[in-house]
């Protein structure tokens, strides 16, 4: 099919809203859907924040809070983990950023399938409601850990083994339906609805990150979907997909012949790409933040694109590095350790290129830039500790200890969240037409960056001592060799830091609400950025994004400080003049 047959959405029929309901609730405008995704994800994220307080109170001050029972503790760690990974990070980075940025950055009027896009959000909302319903079913939510490993997840020794696990699995299945509808939209829009001149190699890296993450999601989530269905069957009608013969609490059960390891393989075949589903959009967005705010092109754009693609492909052949001590055939260790450490190479290249971008730049330490730089240092720590856990034998003493907790919070918790914050400070002016308050933003940044570092950096060392993760109490019947008194003191410190960092997130929410009404007017392009979303005729952009004519792209997204040019940035839709040394693209 020739490219010309795609009408560039010039005359795309838009379903303009006729009432409040179709404008703000059942809207087909990708920008409204993006905000819906964002607000829902943030709300459920606040639940996860409170859950993390519960678990930190117990770890830091065991025995002090009678109402934190082991059941509540295990339910809290489970729900916290699942909410953060799926319902906040995945939903925010793809559902919210994906929706907002893809059409605007590519010069499209909307997603290719606006109706499906609308459904996608409402199905996501349904999955969140089902998840929260866990708290109202008999027995409460599941306490099986976010990995939901059977047989434990469906046996009586685990909280929520009757109802909680079912609502969890059902919610995941529904979420995957929502993600699939959204994901097909992102990919189709990126491949088919780019405006004139927007070649793939002119796309901002944000879009490359979102594209690759969506591809990963569409390939990886089905593995989670089938394992959810299989576990539901095991639990409800007594099939034995994951269930061998077991004696639970002294009783012989009717299961036989199933394989708990099969679930782990399926789970991590989804679970490892999931890390990159979260990381790749963050990689892309942070590349753009660093470039815009340092007034310099991103260094090594083509290498950055290929690194995203390489990481995406490799992420499908490393999953069993989560299973080195699971009892799988030990020779798998050689293969998965090698692939895992190979993935470090393209990842390291990305880090180098971010830092080299700052070389001889003209760095403006705006709030988005502060978050972007904090991301790099956090990601460096989290990425390097990944080399410990990826190298099979080094993983043996450290796996299932607090080293793992510290590692994944640094690399796929704090790091992407710092990018999300930076991105909100960066794009809020375009979304609302107003700037966020800078002073509150500075406070939010400093407490969040330093606070999270204080929480997670020392936590690695608890792992070296041997403190296992997911322990409700460490000291039972006197002190243990693996839990010296100093470790208890460290845990108290971490808890206090976690309470403070958590509380400061409300400053951020306050800032977003108040700035919406009273923020300084932003203008069309407050940061002097080059990509198309800053070139809309109106701010905030109206339904349809562009005026009568779609923009035409003449250059890549990184023409900052081009020698000979008057301004220190040249937007993508500005035709080539006779400025010297401009990038070939």
Partner 1 sequence: MALAIVLLIVIIGSVAFNWLSPWWFTDIASNWGNIDTTVFITFWVCGIVFVAVCLFMTYCVWKFRHKEGSRADYEPENSRLEWWLTVVTTIGVVAMLAPGLVVWDDYVNVPPDAQEFEVLAKQWTWAFRFPGEDGKLGTVDTTNIGMDNPFGMNMDDPNGADDVLVPASRVHLPKDQPVKVWLRSIDVLHDFFVPEFRAKMDAVPGMVTYFWFEPTKVGEYEILCAELCGVGHFSMRGRVQIDTQEDFDAWLDAQPTWAEMQAGITPKSYSAMAMRGRDVAETNGCFACHTLDGSVVVGPTWQGLWGSTRTMTDGSEVVVDDAYIDESVRNPAVKVVEGFAPVMIPYDLSEEDMQALIEYLREETGAEEPMSADRGEDAAPADAVALNEAAASNQGLAVLNAQGG
Rank residues 433 and 468 by Cβ distance to partner 1 and give the closer one.
468
Q: Per CB under 8 A, does 393 bind partner 1? A: yes
Rank residues 384 and 507 by Cβ distance to partner 1 and give the closer one.
384
| CA separation for the pair 431, 534 (Å, rounded) | 10
Rank residues 484 and 540 by Cβ distance to partner 1 and give the closer one.
484
Window 304 to 333, contacts with partner 1 (CB under 8 A): 325-327, 330-331, 333
Q: Per CB under 8 A, does 493 bind partner 1? A: no
Number of residues that bind partner 1 (CB under 8 A): 122
Exactly one of 476, 503, 509, 513 binds partner 1 (CB under 8 A); that residue is 476
- Name the one range near partner 1 by CB under 8 A: 80-88, 120-128, 174-182, 253-261: 253-261
Q: Per CB under 8 A, does 106 bind partner 1? A: no
| CA separation for the pair 259, 240 (Å, rounded) | 8
- Name the one range near partner 1 by CB under 8 A: 39-47, 243-251, 407-415, 541-549: 243-251
Rank residues 282 and 550 by Cβ distance to partner 1 and give the closer one.
282
| CA separation for the pair 418, 80 (Å, rounded) | 18
- Strand partners for 483: 480
Least spacing, CB of residue 338 vs partner 1, in Å: 7
Least spacing, CB of residue 369 vs partner 1, in Å: 9
Residues whose CB falls within 8 Å of the CB of residue 316, separated by 6 or more in sequence, listed in order: 216, 219, 220, 269, 272, 273
Q: Per CB under 8 A, does 526 bind partner 1? A: no
Q: Are 51 and 83 in contact (CB under 8 A)?
A: yes
Q: Is 233 exposed, middle or buried (0-12, 13-18, 19+ CB in 10 A)?
A: middle
Structure tokens of 471? 């322990």
Q: Are 150 and 260 in contact (CB under 8 A)?
A: yes
Q: Per CB under 8 A, does 422 bind partner 1? A: no
Exactly one of 233, 349, 499, 514 binds partner 1 (CB under 8 A); that residue is 349
Q: What are phi and psi of 33, to 5 degrees?
A: -60, -40
Four-residue CA torsion sign, 89, 449, 104, 189: negative
| CA separation for the pair 250, 567 (Å, rounded) | 76
Q: Are 229 and 138 in contact (CB under 8 A)?
A: no
What are all long-range contacts of 481-487, with beta carbons under 8 Å and residues at least 24 apart?
A: 487/462
Rank residues 25 and 388 by Cβ distance to partner 1 and give the closer one.
388
Rank residues 225 and 301 by Cβ distance to partner 1 and give the closer one.
301
Window 54 to 73, contacts with partner 1 (CB under 8 A): 69-71
Residue 131: name the closest of 92, 172, 74 by CA. Answer: 172
Least spacing, CB of residue 112 vs partner 1, in Å: 31
Rank residues 22 and 259 by Cβ distance to partner 1 and give the closer one.
259
Exactly one of 24, 115, 136, 482 binds partner 1 (CB under 8 A); that residue is 482
| CA separation for the pair 396, 354 (Å, rounded) | 32
Q: Per CB under 8 A, does 490 bind partner 1? A: yes
Query: Would you call 346 helix, strand, or coil by DSSP?
Result: helix
Least spacing, CB of residue 465 vs partner 1, in Å: 5
- Name the one range near partner 1 by CB under 8 A: 275-283, 298-306, 405-413, 521-529: 298-306
- Name the one range near partner 1 by CB under 8 A: 230-238, 309-317, 458-466, 530-538: 458-466
Annotate 548-567 with DSSP letters as a single string.
SS-----S-TT-BS-TT-SS
Window 119 to 148, contacts with partner 1 (CB under 8 A): 143-145, 147
Q: Are 432 and 517 in contact (CB under 8 A)?
A: no
The H-or-E segment that residue 304 falls in is: helix 301-314
Exactly one of 25, 113, 135, 388 binds partner 1 (CB under 8 A); that residue is 388
Window 532 to 561, contacts with partner 1 (CB under 8 A): 558, 560-561
Q: Per CB under 8 A, does 481 bind partner 1? A: yes
* Eight-class DSSP state of 413: I
Exactly one of 123, 381, 405, 494 binds partner 1 (CB under 8 A); that residue is 381
- Name the one range near partner 1 by CB under 8 A: 7-15, 198-206, 213-221, 380-388: 380-388
Structure tokens of 377? 């240092």
Structure tokens of 4? 């010309």
Least spacing, CB of residue 421 vs partner 1, in Å: 15
Q: Is 328 exposed, middle or buried (0-12, 13-18, 19+ CB in 10 A)?
A: middle
* Termini Cα distance of the chain: 25
Q: Per CB under 8 A, does 238 bind partner 1? A: no
Residue 35: name the closest of 18, 53, 47, 23 by CA. Answer: 23
- Name the one range near partner 1 by CB under 8 A: 17-25, 209-217, 281-289, 467-475: 467-475
Window 556 to 585, contacts with partner 1 (CB under 8 A): 558, 560-563, 568, 581, 583
Exactly one of 18, 302, 518, 566 binds partner 1 (CB under 8 A); that residue is 302
Rank residues 34 and 361 by Cβ distance to partner 1 and give the closer one.
361
Q: How many CA atoms lie within 13 A of 304 on its CB side?
A: 32
Rank residues 38 and 390 by Cβ distance to partner 1 and give the closer one.
390
Rank residues 254 and 548 by Cβ distance to partner 1 and give the closer one.
254
The H-or-E segment that residue 252 falls in is: strand 251-252
The H-or-E segment that residue 74 falls in is: helix 70-82
Rank residues 8 and 208 by Cβ distance to partner 1 and give the closer one.
208
Q: Per CB under 8 A, does 339 bind partner 1? A: no
- Name the one range near partner 1 by CB under 8 A: 25-33, 202-210, 348-356, 539-547: 348-356
Q: Per CB under 8 A, does 7 bind partner 1? A: no
Window 262 to 291, contacts with partner 1 (CB under 8 A): none
The H-or-E segment that residue 285 falls in is: helix 260-293
What are all long-range contacts of 482-486, with beta carbons under 8 Å and residues at least 24 apart?
A: none
Window 356 to 375, contacts with partner 1 (CB under 8 A): 356, 358-365, 370, 373
Q: How many CA atoms lie within 13 A of 12 on its CB side?
A: 27
């Amino acid at each position: 099919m020739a490219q010309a047959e795609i009408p560039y959405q010039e005359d795309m029929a838009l379903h303009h809203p006729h009432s409040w309901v179709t404008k703000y609730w059942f809207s087909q405008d990708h920008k409204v859907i993006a905000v819906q995704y964002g607000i829902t994800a943030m709300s459920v994220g606040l639940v996860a924040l409170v859950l993390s307080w519960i678990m930190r109170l117990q770890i830091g001050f065991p025995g002090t809070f009678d109402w934190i029972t082991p059941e509540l503790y295990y339910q809290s760690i489970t729900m916290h983990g699942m909410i953060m990974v799926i319902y906040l990070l995945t939903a925010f980075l793809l559902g919210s950023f994906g929706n907002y940025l893809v059409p605007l950055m590519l010069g499209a009027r909307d997603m290719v399938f606006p109706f499906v896009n609308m459904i996608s959000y409402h199905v996501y909302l349904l999955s969140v409601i089902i998840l929260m319903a866990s708290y109202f079913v008999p027995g409460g939510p599941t306490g099986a850990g976010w990995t939901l490993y059977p047989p434990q997840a469906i046996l009586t020794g685990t909280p929520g083994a009757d109802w909680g696990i079912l609502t969890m699995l059902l919610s995941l299945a529904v979420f995957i339906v929502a993600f699939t509808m959204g994901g097909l939209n992102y990919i189709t829009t990126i491949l088919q609805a780019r405006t004139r001149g927007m070649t793939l190699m002119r796309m901002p890296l944000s879009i490359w990150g979102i594209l690759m993450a969506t591809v990963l999601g569409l390939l990886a989530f089905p593995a989670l979907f089938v394992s959810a269905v299989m576990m539901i069957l095991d639990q409800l009608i007594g099939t034995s997909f994951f269930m061998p013969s077991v004696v639970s609490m002294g009783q012989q059960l009717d299961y036989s012949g199933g394989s708990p390891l099969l679930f782990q393989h399926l789970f991590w075949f989804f679970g490892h790409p999931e890390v990159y589903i979260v990381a790749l959009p963050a990689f892309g967005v942070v590349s753009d933040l660093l470039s815009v705010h340092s007034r310099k092109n991103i260094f090594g754009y083509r290498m950055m694109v290929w690194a995203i693609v390489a990481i995406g492909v490799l992420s499908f052949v490393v999953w069993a590095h989560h299973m080195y001590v699971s009892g799988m055939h030990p020779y798998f260790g050689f293969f998965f350790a090698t692939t895992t450490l190979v993935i470090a190479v393209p990842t390291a290249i990305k880090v180098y290129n971010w830092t080299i971008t700052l070389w001889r730049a003209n760095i403006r330490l705006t709030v988005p830039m502060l978050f972007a730089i904090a991301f790099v240092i956090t990601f460096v720590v989290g990425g390097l500790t990944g080399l410990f856990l990826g190298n099979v034998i080094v993983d043996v003493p450290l796996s299932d200890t607090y080293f793992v907790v510290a590692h994944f919070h640094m690399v796929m918790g704090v790091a992407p969240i710092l990018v999300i914050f930076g991105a909100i400070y960066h794009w809020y002016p375009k979304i609302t037409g107003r700037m966020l308050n800078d002073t509150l933003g500075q406070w939010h940044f400093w407490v969040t960056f330093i606070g999270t570092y204080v929480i997670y950096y020392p936590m690695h060392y608890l792992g070296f001592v041997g403190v296992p993760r997911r322990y409700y109490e460490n000291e039972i019947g006197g002190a243990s060799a693996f839990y010296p008194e100093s470790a208890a003191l460290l845990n108290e410190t971490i808890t206090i830091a976690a309470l403070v960092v958590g509380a400061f997130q409300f400053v951020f929410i306050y800032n977003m609400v108040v700035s919406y009404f009273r923020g300084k007017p932003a203008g069309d392009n407050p940061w002097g950025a080059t990509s198309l979303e800053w070139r809309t005729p109106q701010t905030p952009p109206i339904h349809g994004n562009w005026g009568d004519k779609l923009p035409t792209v003449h250059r890549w997204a990184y023409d900052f400080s081009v020698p000979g040019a008057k301004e220190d940035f040249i937007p993508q839709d500005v035709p080539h003049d006779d400025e010297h040394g401009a990038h070939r693209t």
